[in-house]
Amino acid sequence: MSTVRDLAASATLDFTLPQELTVIALCALTALIAHMALAVFNDGVRPFMLDFIHGRSTRPATTAVSFGLSAGFIFGLGAPMALSSGVLNPWLLFLPTDVLGLLSPKRWLAPVLGGAWGAVVVFALGGANDLAHDLPVDFLTAMQQMSTPILFLFTLFPVLAITKQFGRAWGAAAGAVELALVVMTMKLWPNMFAGALAMAVGVLTLIGLAVARDLGQRRADRAAAPAGAGAVDGGGSGSGGGDGDGDGEPAAEDPMASLFSASATRLRRYLPLFMLLGGGVCLLAQMHIFGGGEATSFLIAKGHISEAAQVDFYRVFGFIPLIATTALASGAYGIVGFTLVYPIGYLLPNPLLAFVVGAVVFAAEVLALSWIGRILGRLPSVRDSSEHLRNAITDTLQLAILFGSLMAANAMGAGLGILVVGGLYLLNEAMGRPVVRMAAAPAAVIVGGVLLNLLYWLDLFTPVKG
């Protein structure tokens, strides 16, 4: 309980002038880049950007897709997480600038709209936070109950990924090792986040198993190659036998390779703009007012900066293949790149160095896109591991956020709170999830908190004693 009280005391959303200017400038820049169709934050929107870039889709239609895929995360996850932790997050900052940038009919208007959204975040969110904490039913403090299940259940995502890709035996072994490491960390290093070492071992185990499988498959393919090659040579060594069509002409160029090359070239053309973006994101992370994920936000709020860097570093492995392939296929990169600038920014000692390093990292990412795409083509198990990691992260966080939201409901309204919040969540499920599942529970806590305050003012409810 003392941890929650300490977290509540730190969740102020008060920013210094340099921090405010950084948020506003970065939101303006990301809106401009989204308007130019160079990058978007929402991974679900990126595949739609190819048609927009080539003029097969209109700006209003693309904006509608972006808003539809982003609204639930903005209001159901981004805003509640920021209000409860006191730390900004990418869903709150960059999903709205995706929408505003695509919405803007003029290039000059996009950074104006983006900057305006940044100003709303840094100036209005703090007032809303203070107002909510003054209510009889303080649902924001109650929402900090989510931190414990998010931090500890998130530790298990490598175990889930290993189980799904390599079977129950490997999954059980990884789970036993992680549990032992968590217990050992809590006993020997009580000031360290208990899941840090366990996650490191889990992710390394998954990558090691995937690489070993790919290398084994390549050895098997090489061993089988001479027999296959001999059969081919014996059947068609004359003129015209090399391409299989008998006319002696070279095979047609792979259309996907051509598309990937064109997309990579397009992104490299705007390298200075991407370097500015990378520097800005890394600078924001260095200020420790921003967390790249749900678990990271609470770790930064508690002052566990190195552990936050570790958590976001592990997430990188789940997103490099997705971001690289969708960027090469669509011609639009990710607003935060491969997310490497998050953990790097957390750990750097000063803002100037963070900006420079972030710019260099983004330049390296953009220049290496084609090479990364070719490497991933040769490592199918590693690509599969990335997919399993992302799914495992989603599964663990969905359970953790739901469980934490019910804990928050109990803290602010006991049985009635659980009835309201759980009922709203179930209603969202029954209605076909108009609010995405991960965002539905935090949104239900806020709606439930407002409802409990109304009941208090009607003298129909007495708040739970803190």
- Domains of the chain, by residue range, sit at 2-159+256-457
- Provide the pLDDT for residue 383: 81
User: Phi then psi for 409, rounded to 5 degrees?
Assistant: -60, -40
Classified as helix, coil or strand, 24 is: helix
CA–CA dist 101, 244 (Å, integer): 49
What is the model's pLDDT at position 12?
64
Residue 187 to residue 257: CA distance in whole angstroms: 53
Residues 353-374: tens digit of each pLDDT: 999 999 999 999 999 988 888 8
Q: Return the structure tokens found at 139.
A: 């649902």
Q: Give the pLDDT score at 77.
A: 87
Position 452 scores a pLDDT of: 93
- Beta strand 333-334 with 39-40: parallel, antiparallel or unpaired? parallel
> Cα(14)–Cα(449) distance, rounded to whole angstroms?
23
pTM of the model: 0.83
- In the block, tokens 């965002």 appear at 439
Q: What is the pLDDT of residue 248?
A: 46
pLDDT < 70 regions, the chain: 1-12, 226-259, 465-466
pLDDT score of 142? 87
H-run or E-run covering 85 = helix 79-85
Indicate the angle between helix axes 305-330 and 196-235, nearest 10 degrees.
30
Predicted local distance difference test score (pLDDT) of residue 250: 47
Which residue in 63, 70, 43 sits closest to 104, CA to CA? Answer: 63
> Token pair of 336, please?
């935060």
CA distance 80 to 11: 12
What integer pLDDT is reported at residue 137 of this predicted model? 85
Phi, psi dihedral angles at 106 (to 5 degrees): -120, 145
Which whole-number Å values give the CA distances from 127 to 15, 81, 140, in the listed order? 12, 16, 13
